[in-house]
């Protein structure tokens, strides 16, 4: 097995390009870091292109027949890693492919949700609540961002996630009979507990600071809010999404 | 006004000690970083001991009469800061004091919730849902951790948060007539939608990987679970807390 000992090795450079959205788009690949994410990906049948592992942890690698494995030194792994404490293994994986989008069932639409932890947590929650899938509108954190991957906890293998323009998707969904519920920090919006969506519908959640864009809220069937009894000014967007998903499930 | 230009200045060292739990415990102080947290603290009447500000942003400081203000260079602020991109201001604040604990109303008890973002988000959510307060059991992230502070968004000024041993608090709460609902990833536990707490009660949430400790679950009045329709194995602990808090509100 090849051993990489120099941080100037070409693989170190290749891995680094994949921490950027541009590098991921161009190659169609992304980085999986740590044993948990790698094992989950292997279990789900994801296409792994290369694995880089510390020699001391090599024995933990199982069922990787046909995948090129490189041993790396600690300094090389550190150079490759985005984590403060690299976990011993890192892999280059092919971006997964979902079946063509069919807008049926219950969906989550995200408008410019920027924090990767929020995007990943929302996908995990949508999976747990049994929703059909998630659409990331323009300006959302990238699905293959390492923090999104960590927060999703593998839910990307259970439900599909598409990157689409919401200005196109919303009218399309409505034309097919779906209802879109926007969320708005506004007491004139409808209390979410009084709304009981039936059939195909989507919950539209917005940016952490700015909420859903006005031009999207104008297109919805109804806008709802979550009444707050306490003094907090707002809820975290992943929290607000979870409350709606489980209440409307 | 004094200008600090050397990263070897004593204040740089003092600030750094306050990023550690030990330094915070010993001094009774903590670090507030960025304009948003500082302004929130001033608005809430928190005791600010010192403020360090970039000369270029000094004009933004308002209502700080009686508080020593130091101008710092960018390199000094960077040395003081825990953020990747320091926001121009940083302060040393006194830890706040809450009235003596009285266990009445609806509470959130946390057992070893380690992620600071989760602890902060749960406190913010408990505030929004109108709960009485939060108890951090042993092994939880520290209330004055910078990530906890960022996630709370000021909710620590709205509801009290106590660090207490849950092995003592649970029997005490029950002896006063309160009911404790533990959470358990177990389909033999009660579906949370079938439970409708009345009077004084507490929701007991546990560690991200391990859940609530068995010895605590054995002491509860009832253990509940959140049924999941999808394939996700679990929910993030802050998400699960939010679902219960808003359903039982």
On whether any CB of chain A is under 8 Å from the CB of B161, the answer is no
How far does B170 lie from chain A, in Å, by closest CA?
Answer: 24
Query: Mean pLDDT across the stretch B164-186?
Result: 95
Number of Cβ within 10 Å of residue B61's Cβ equals 16
Q: Is A197 exposed, middle or buried (0-12, 13-18, 19+ CB in 10 A)?
A: buried
Tell me how far apart the alpha carbons of residues A18 and A110 are, in angstroms, rounded to a whole number.
24
For the record, the structure tokens of B240 come out as 């699960």
Number of Cβ within 10 Å of residue A217's Cβ equals 19
Q: A235–B159: do the CB atoms touch at under 8 Å? A: no
Query: Mean pLDDT across the stretch A157-172?
Result: 96
- Looking at chain A, the whole-number percentage of residues with pLDDT higher than 90 is 85
Residue among A126, A228, A242 minimizing CB distance to B128: A228
Give the mutation candidate from B116, B132, B243, B247 for the A interface (greatest A CB count, under 10 A). Answer: B243
What pLDDT band is residue B190 in, cutting at 50, 70 and 90?
A: very high
Tell me how far apart the alpha carbons of residues A131 and B116 are, in angstroms, rounded to a whole number.
28
Q: Is there a contact between A132 and A106 (Cβ–Cβ < 8 Å)?
A: yes
Contacts of A148 (CB under 8 A, 6+ apart): A116, A117, A119, A120, A123, A141, A142
Query: Mean pLDDT across the stretch B163-189?
Result: 94
How far does A4 lie from chain B, in Å, by closest CA?
Answer: 30
Query: Mean pLDDT across the stretch A51-69?
Result: 91
Give the mutation candidate from A151, A246, A247 for the B interface (greatest B CB count, under 10 A). Answer: A246
Query: Mean pLDDT across the stretch B1-13?
Result: 93
Q: Evaluate if residue B180 carries a pLDDT over 90.
A: yes
Residue among B127, B230, B246 minimizing CB distance to A128: B230
Q: Report how far Cα B179 is from the mean position of its chain's Cα atoms.
A: 23
Residue among B128, B235, B247 minimizing CB distance to A230: B128
- Looking at chain B, the whole-number percentage of residues with pLDDT higher than 70 is 100
Buried b (16+ CB within 10 A) or exposed e, A115-125: bbbbbbbbbbb
On whether any CB of chain B is under 8 Å from the CB of A45, the answer is no
Q: What is the pLDDT of residues A199-233, one digit of tens each?
A: 999 999 999 999 999 999 999 999 999 999 888 88
Give the pLDDT confidence score for residue B13 in this predicted structure. Answer: 96
**Interface predicted TM-score of the whole assembly (ipTM), two decimals:** 0.91
Q: Which residues of B fall within a CB distance of 8 Å from A126?
A: 230
Torsions phi, psi for B55 (to 5 deg): -55, -40
Q: What is the pLDDT of residues B16-41, one digit of tens each?
A: 999 999 999 999 999 999 998 999 89
Torsions phi, psi for A80 (to 5 deg): -80, -25
What pLDDT band is residue A173 in, cutting at 50, 70 and 90?
A: very high
Query: Mean pLDDT across the stretch B193-213?
Result: 96
Give the mutation candidate from B246, B248, B249 for the A interface (greatest A CB count, under 10 A). Answer: B246
**Which residues of A, range 53-112, sit inside 8 Å of B by Cβ?**
none
Give the mutation candidate from B122, B128, B185, B249 for the A interface (greatest A CB count, under 10 A). Answer: B128
- Comparing alpha-carbon positions, the chain A residue that sits nearest to B158 is A231
Give the pLDDT confidence score for residue B187 in this predicted structure. Answer: 77
Find where tokens 């679990």 sit. B234
Q: Evaluate if residue B178 carries a pLDDT over 80.
A: yes
How far does A246 lie from chain B, in Å, by closest CA?
Answer: 7
Tell me how far apart the alpha carbons of residues B113 and A173 are, in angstroms, rounded to a whole number.
40
Q: Is there a contact between A181 and A204 (Cβ–Cβ < 8 Å)?
A: yes
Give the pLDDT confidence score for residue A85 in this predicted structure. Answer: 86
On whether any CB of chain B is under 8 Å from the CB of A118, the answer is no
Give the pLDDT confidence score for residue B30 in this predicted structure. Answer: 96
- Comparing alpha-carbon positions, the chain B residue that sits nearest to A153 is B232
Give the pLDDT confidence score for residue A149 in this predicted structure. Answer: 93
How far does A240 lie from chain B, in Å, by closest CA?
Answer: 8
Query: Mean pLDDT across the stretch A19-30?
Result: 94
Query: Mean pLDDT across the stretch B195-209?
Result: 96
How far does A119 lie from chain B, in Å, by closest CA?
Answer: 13
Q: Which domains does chain A have, with CATH numbers?
A: 3-94 (3.30.1330.30), 106-248 (3.40.1280.10)
Nearest to A111 by CA among A89, A134, A79, A93: A134
Q: Which residues of A fall within a CB distance of 8 Å from B230?
A: 126-131, 155, 158-159
On whether any CB of chain A is under 8 Å from the CB of B155, the answer is yes
On whether any CB of chain B is under 8 Å from the CB of A12, the answer is no
Q: Evaluate if residue A186 carries a pLDDT over 90.
A: no
Mean pLDDT estimate for chain A: 94
Q: What is the pLDDT of residues B75-117, one digit of tens each?
A: 999 999 988 889 899 999 999 889 999 999 999 999 999 999 9
Q: What is the pLDDT of residues A126-151, one digit of tens each?
A: 999 999 999 999 999 999 999 999 99
Give the pLDDT confidence score for residue B134 in this predicted structure. Answer: 98
- Looking at chain B, the whole-number percentage of residues with pLDDT higher than 90 is 85
Nearest to A104 by CA among A181, A182, A202: A202
Q: Is there a contact between A5 and A73 (Cβ–Cβ < 8 Å)?
A: yes
Give the pLDDT confidence score for residue A137 in this predicted structure. Answer: 98
Q: What is the pLDDT of residues B137-157, one digit of tens each?
A: 999 999 999 999 999 999 999
Q: A128–B235: do the CB atoms touch at under 8 Å? A: yes
B179-183 and B201-205 beta bridge pairing: parallel
Q: A128–B159: do the CB atoms touch at under 8 Å? A: no
On whether any CB of chain B is under 8 Å from the CB of A193, the answer is no
Find where tokens 């605590």 sit. B216
Number of Cβ within 10 Å of residue B196's Cβ equals 8
């Amino acid at each position: 097995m090849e051993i990489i000992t120099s941080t100037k090795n070409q693989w170190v450079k290749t891995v680094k390009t994949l921490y950027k959205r541009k590098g991921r788009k161009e190659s169609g690949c992304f980085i999986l870091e740590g044993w948990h994410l790698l094992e989950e990906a292997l279990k789900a049948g994801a296409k792994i292109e290369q694995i880089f592992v510390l020699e001391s942890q090599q024995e933990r690698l199982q069922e990787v027949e046909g995948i090129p494995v490189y041993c790396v030194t600690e300094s090389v792994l550190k150079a490759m890693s985005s984590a403060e404490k690299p976990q011993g293994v890192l892999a280059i994986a092919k971006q997964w492919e979902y079946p063509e989008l069919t807008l049926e069932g219950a969906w989550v639409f995200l408008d410019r949700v920027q924090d990767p932890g929020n995007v990943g947590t929302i996908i995990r929650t949508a999976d747990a609540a049994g929703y059909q899938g998630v659409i990331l509108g323009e300006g959302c954190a990238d699905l293959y961002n390492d923090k999104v991957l960590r927060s999703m906890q593998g839910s990307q293998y259970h439900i599909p996630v598409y990157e689409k323009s919401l200005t196109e998707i919303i009218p399309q969904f409505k034309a097919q009979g779906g209802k879109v519920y926007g969320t708005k920090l506004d007491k004139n919006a409808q209390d979410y507990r009084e709304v009981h969506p039936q059939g195909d519908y989507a919950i539209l959640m917005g940016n952490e600071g700015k909420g859903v864009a006005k031009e999207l809220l104008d297109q919805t069937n109804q806008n709802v809010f979550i009444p707050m009894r306490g003094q907090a000014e707002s809820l975290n967007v992943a929290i607000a999404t979870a409350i709606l998903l489980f209440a409307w499930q």
